[in-house]
């Protein structure tokens, strides 16, 4: 699954996937030196918490 990093901090990253969902995943699931705006491939097991874009304001 591919996605775009929309936010990250020291422990977590928020990645938007193609269907508009945002996944909260550990930065350990990302390539080293990833930053906001990077397109990344996530393992399917990284679906920790799913957010619907309409719930984020």
Rounded distance, CA 57 to CA 55, Å?
A: 6
pLDDT of 38-49, one tens digit each?
Answer: 999 887 655 544
Rounded distance, CA 57 to CA 53, Å?
A: 8
Structural domain for 42, as ranges: 2-55
* Lateral strand order in the sheet of 22-26: 39-41, 2-8, 12-17, 22-26, 49-51
pLDDT of 1-57, one tens digit each?
Answer: 889 999 999 999 999 988 888 888 889 888 889 999 999 988 765 554 454 544 554
Which one-letter DSSP state was computed for residue 45?
G
Domain with 46 in it: what CATH number?
A: 2.40.50
Q: What's the structural domain count of the chain? A: 1
């Amino acid at each position: 699954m591919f996605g775009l990093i929309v936010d990250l901090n020291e422990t977590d990253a928020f990645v938007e996937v193609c269907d508009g969902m945002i996944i909260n995943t550990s930065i350990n699931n990302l390539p080293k030196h990833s930053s906001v705006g990077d397109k990344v491939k996530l393992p399917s097991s990284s679906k920790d918490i799913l957010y619907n874009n309409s719930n984020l304001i």
